[in-house]
Amino acid sequence: METARRTLVKAVLWNALGLVVMGVVGLVMTGSVALGGAMAVLNTAIGLACYIVYERIWSRIRWGRLHG
């Protein structure tokens, strides 16, 4: 099981990458920095929250783990 802090750091780093990618996609799709940026921020906030909850749930599930 990993700590909540590790989960948070992983989530923030992954979502920072996603923010950049979504920002570029939003800019290309809309032609607007403001709209593309807003879409990226909203997507990142939702994704971050979902990822943290998802990881914390899976950290409590023992199925599929090897115990040595």
pLDDT at 55: 86
Q: How far apart, in whole angstroms, are the C-alpha atoms of residue 12 and residue 7?
A: 9
Residue 62 pLDDT > 90: no
Residue 68: which pLDDT band, with cuts at 50, 70 and 90? low
Q: Name the token pair of 38.
A: 């807003």
pLDDT at 12: 86
Q: How far apart, in whole angstroms, are the C-alpha atoms of residue 55 and residue 32?
A: 34
Q: What tens digit of pLDDT does each residue of 6-58 get?
A: 888 988 898 899 899 999 999 999 999 999 999 999 988 998 899 889 988 98
pLDDT at 2: 76
